[in-house]
Structure 1
Amino acid sequence: MTPFELAARYLIPRLRALTAARLLDGGMSQNEVARRLGVTQPMVRKYAAEAEEAMEAMEAMGIPREAADAMASALADAATRGYWEHISAMNSIVASVLSGGGLCAFHRRIDRGIPDDCSLCSDVLRGGPDQYIEDVSNAVSALVESPHAYLLVPEVGMNVALAPPGASTVEQVVGVPGRLVRVGTRVVAIGRPSYGGSTHTAGVALWAGRRWGFPRAAVATRHDASIIGAAAAMGLRVHKVGEEPQEAPDLMVDMGGPGVEPIIYFLGRSALEAARKALEAARRVGTRDT
């Protein structure tokens, strides 16, 4: 069984079931969900009835419940924007799960012929060279591999966005479609960096780029006084949204509003630079708390 057959048989139907249930819970009709997902209305009804079973199956496949829930949330968000947006997000998430080895153990359980040193998915799905996607990918890797990054993840998930020279819309900004989520004390990326992969964080990167020059990156992290304090102690310039910055800040503090979570955005000329600023602040907070 090829990795693509594996995803088509076991992963995609369960992601669709979780997504359909999320959209229905949000008040969307079965007919509208069917149109957005590109399936029939009876299939939507079947998906909704099997949502919890699908979640349990995802866990059995080696995908943590928190990660599966984050994937469903990202897919539902994309589906509310349209059918093609959902297809694009599904493609990115499935490619990320496969290339990141998320189904390797499950694949070997059902196909004993797979060699121990198989790297087919990572080789095939690595993608072509793009310096901006590579930069965001490096930033994501730094966050995923850090023992302190979980301290940075907000309730809505973390994102990394890079606005390259010439960018004028969020579709021209590189981001992570499904965000980065916390699973225990680990950070998991839901989706591969791609153009149009972010909205809010991409908007911040665009704003900063227009103000202080491109390329410009932003990393959205949890709002916490200890993180802001650690950043200030590092000598980073802190800007509060609503004030007028005189020079390019290292982080922006957005206090949110009714129903909107406060967020800290670490900024940099590259995604990796912004991520390293955030990680150093998290390291100082983590070291102090232990």
Structure 2
Amino acid sequence: MKVSAFEVASRYVYPSLRRRLVEHLREKGLKQTEIARLLHITQSAVSRYLHMDRGALIDISQFPDIDAELRSFAEEIIEKKPGEYEIHRRLVEISVEMLGKGYVCSFHAKIDPEINPSECNVCLDLFG
């Protein structure tokens, strides 16, 4: 294994979740500057997420349960305006949930040919 599950989560899953969260906030009619302020990131980062320059390797919309969680979280962010640590905590939780459900296994195998998803149960055992 050349690429660990934690590396996959931090380099690919987390940015993809954040990108989808930005999309949900945009669907609510928010401007890039408003989204940036709510998520405690730069407007430039929001633009890169929306233009698929960042976090575009995993299509979160293919996981309806995760996508619904992000849609609900977007509404919560608009309503309660949580701090950056609370947003980070929630995105990490959702990242771990994706690992535990095996949603990332086939992607992991694509970026690390040494991974055999039918033999590897690391994430399922640890986070499932």
The interval holding the TM-score normalised by the smaller chain is 0.7 to 0.9
Separation (CA, whole Å) in 2 of partners of 1:5 and 1:78:
28
Q: Percent identity?
A: 30
1:109 corresponding residue in structure 2: 110
The structure that is helix-richer by fraction is 2
Whether contact under 8 Å (2:22, 2:49) holds in the other structure is: yes
Q: Distance in 2 between matches of 1:75 and 1:11?
A: 16
User: What is aligned with 2:70?
Assistant: 72
- Quick one: which amino acid aligns to residue 120 of structure 2? C
Question: How far apart are the structure 2 equivalents of 1:78 and 1:102?
Answer: 24
TM-score, normalised relative to structure 2: 0.73
What is the distance in 1 between the residues matched to 2:69 and 2:11?
Answer: 17
**Equivalent residue, structure 1, for 2:9:** 7
Q: CA deviation at 1:12?
A: 1.7
Q: Is the 8 A contact 1:58 1:68 kept in 2?
A: no
**When you count strand as a share of all residues, which structure comes out higher?**
1
In the aligned structure 2, how far is the partner of 1:74 from the partner of 1:3?
Answer: 26
Q: Closer, same or farther in 2 for the Cα pair 1:91/1:101, shift >3 Å?
A: same
- Following the alignment from structure 2 to structure 1, what is the Cα–Cα distance between the partners of residues 100 and 58? 20
- Structure with higher RCO (Cα < 8 A, 6+ apart): 2
Q: Distance in 2 between matches of 1:66 and 1:100?
A: 13
Q: Distance in 1 between matches of 2:50 and 2:100?
A: 28
Larger radius of gyration: 1
Q: Size of the alignment, in residue pairs?
A: 121
Mapped partners of 2:76, 2:86: distance in 1: 5
Superposed CA RMSD in Å reads: 2.8
Q: Is the 8 A contact 1:30 1:45 kept in 2?
A: yes
